[in-house]
Structure 1
Amino acid sequence: MKLMSNMRSRVLSLFNYPYIPKELLEESRGPILMHISDTPKGVYSYIFRIASILKPDYIIHTGDMADDIKLECNTSKIASYVSEVKTLIEGLEKNENSKIYYVLGNHDDYETVNRLSKKGTILQDEIITINNCKFRVSHYYEECPSNIDYNLYGHNIKPGHYKKEGTVGLNGVLNINIIDLGSKRVFHLDYPIGTNCLRLIEPRRISL
């Protein structure tokens, strides 16, 4: 069953369409939280489509909002960064009922995000409470106290998702993570095929 789901997900992503499990669509209690991280421009429309289908109550982006720019290493590309982040923020904030958190990464610019966002909350490394659950949100992974329910991070493909002493750790680089806060169930949705190439963390394949 899982193999079939994985195959279906990969095929759909070729057409820029996400595979969303039937259980998530039909059995969720809500509220729904969507966690994303390290997003290159090429995945924006895919993320917007997921948000339009699931209508999440909360969206948390754990940094590097235009990850194909690598702004920290390419400060001269600030104009391209502004253009891409504008597209991302406008797309996310079209979800009128979503509370949105932007947790800035090393390739983000505070002034740009603050100027462009109309409804988002900008964070760094903080602990927040959502629906009576405690979240540690940061661009970077760190171990956290056992009273934290969810540890959300990005930046690197390691460490992966984990469960330890009552804390669920979710890496937003690996998946688009969906939390059903009513049932505490977590769903890992795939990014489109080729996302890591767009992030510049995998070499592009050259066809002969």
Structure 2
Amino acid sequence: MAEQADHPGELDELWGAGTPDGFRRLWAPHRMAYIAGETGTGQVDGGGCPLCRIPTLGDDEGLVLHRGTRVYAVLNLHPYNPGHLMVVPYRHVAGLDELDTEESAELMAVTQQAVRALRAVASPHGYNVGINLGHVAGGSLADHLHQHVVPRWGGDANFITVIGQTKVIPQLLAETRASLAAAWPAPGAGDAA
């Protein structure tokens, strides 16, 4: 590039990018695979629903932690915190009210198993558990319902997150998947816990 910016935001003006937004950028070119729709093997998804496609992959490749009868658990490819996972019905439905009774029951049972596995592996201080219904509610894959389970620790939103607007994930997803899958409780295990 022939011209150099002397201060942050000058490049935005130089390139006509509009008003600077105040965010600093952490360059992560490995995320381009997600944007381009590529899987871990370099194959392009083809535009279908990624949450429908994940069960067709092997557990390691798909980051699958548990396969139930009606739902499965999978690591989030872009986690908010280490161990961020999702519990997903196999059936492609968008609304919570579209789940049948068995799917609803298994969604909650597998979510409980997820909390137990996270507690065994990572001892979080708390959890965020929830479903974003619709795009305006924050659902990036709003056409296929999924419940997030995000482990939380005191201080997990430290200065890097707050000041640098950057999230640090200290473990590779494959390693997180292996440890959580190994600790996944059997159905019914720990129900009295």
Is the shorter-chain TM-score for this pair beyond 0.5, marking a shared fold?
no
- TM-score, structure 2 as length reference: 0.32
- TM-score, structure 1 as length reference: 0.30
Tell which structure's C-alpha radius of gyration is larger.
2
Q: If each structure's helix is expressed as a fraction of its own residues, which one has the higher value?
A: 2
Q: If each structure's strand is expressed as a fraction of its own residues, which one has the higher value?
A: 1
Greater relative contact order: 1 or 2 (C-alpha under 8 angstroms, separation 6 or more)?
Answer: 1
